[in-house]
Structure formats: structure tokens, C-alpha cells
Amino acid sequence: MPSARKIPVAEAFTLYVGLGHVRSYAVVAKHYGVGTRAILFIAKRYKWAERLREIEKLAEERQREHNVSLCIEARERHLKALKVLQGKALTGLRDNSARSVAESAKALETSIRLERLILGETTSNTNVSVEERQQREVDQLVVDDGDDSDPEDEDLERFELDAEDAHGDVA
């Protein structure tokens, strides 16, 4: 009659856990040169299934935490890059060359949309482009500086601009 073989339980469990997707009692049994029933008996006695579920649950939790931290880091990197892009776009707007202003305004508009998207804000409320908004602000400043204009005309212009914004009719 063959003598019973002593199986190191902790080592066997570590091997079992480490097998990953090929995990089975038969592989552990083969490793120790014993029958599958012997490993099954040890697994039940020492609650390998429950312990494995706890280990996998802990590993999933750690993986989720790691993924969250990676997302936060990526979000911060992207926001920093957008701030740099916005800074360069604003510098381009200050240069006042026609092509540079147009390109800078487009870059600024795009970076603002992306920033809003990253921050979870809506990006669909961008019916008015940066160029149009700037032109309105310049027109408003010119009108405000010229005191000889009729206040009723200013109100009419503002009303027309507000109506365009509301209907999305931007020329």
C-alpha cells in the first residue's frame, strides 16, 4: 500500500491561485504527483474557492482604483495641454495678423470645446463661434465708444443678435 504523501497546503493554494486561466485541481494534483481527489479534499477543507473569490475581489478593486487614478492623471494632462494650446491661441490673437487671428480663434474654439468635454460640460451649446463672438464684442465696444449713436439702434442690434442666437441663424 503506497504511503500518503504530505502536500504543503499553503504552497499548493499559492500554486492554484497562480495558475490563472488554466487553474484546475488536476494541474495542482499533477504537480504534486497525487490524485485529483486528494487536492479536492484539501481544497474543500481549506476553503480554496472562497479564498480565491476574496483574492479576485481584492484584485478587481485594486485594478479599479488603479484605472481611476490613470483616468485622473490623463484628464489632468489633457487639461494642462489644452491650457497651453489656449495660451498659444490667445498669443496668436494678440498678434493681429489676419491669418494668425483666424487660426488662433479656431484653435481657441476647439480647445474650449475639448476642455468642456473633459470637464463633463455640454459642448452642444456652441452655436456661436469664437470669431463671431469676438466680432460682436468689438462691435459693441465700437458702439459703446461712439456716443453719437442712437440708443434705440443699439437696443435693436442687440435684440437682433439675441434673436439670431436663439434661433441658431448665424450668417
For residue 4, is it within any domain? Answer: no
Q: According to the model, what pLDDT value does residue 171 have?
A: 44
How many domains is the chain partitioned into structurally? Answer: 3
Q: Do residues 132 and 160 both lie within one domain?
A: yes
Q: Which domain holds residue 17?
A: 9-46
Cα-Cα-Cα-Cα torsion 154, 159, 160, 163, nearest 10 degrees, comes to 160
More confidently predicted of 128 and 30: 30
Q: According to the model, what pLDDT value does residue 31 have?
A: 94
Cα-Cα-Cα-Cα torsion 116, 118, 119, 125, nearest 10 degrees, comes to 30
Q: Do residues 24 and 71 both lie within one domain?
A: no
Question: With bands split at pLDDT 50, 70 and 90, how would you rate the model's confidence at 29?
Answer: very high
Q: According to the model, what pLDDT value does residue 38 have?
A: 94
> Has this prediction a pTM greater than 0.85?
no
Q: Do residues 118 and 149 both lie within one domain?
A: no
